[in-house]
Amino acid sequence: MSQPTPVEPGHAAAAEHDAVESVVHLMPLVLPLAGGVLMLLLASIAVFLA
pLDDT tens digits, residue range 11-34?
A: 655 557 888 888 899 999 999 999
41 or 21: which leads in pLDDT? 41
pTM score over 0.75: no
Q: Is the dihedral of CA 37, 41, 44, 46 positive or negative?
A: negative
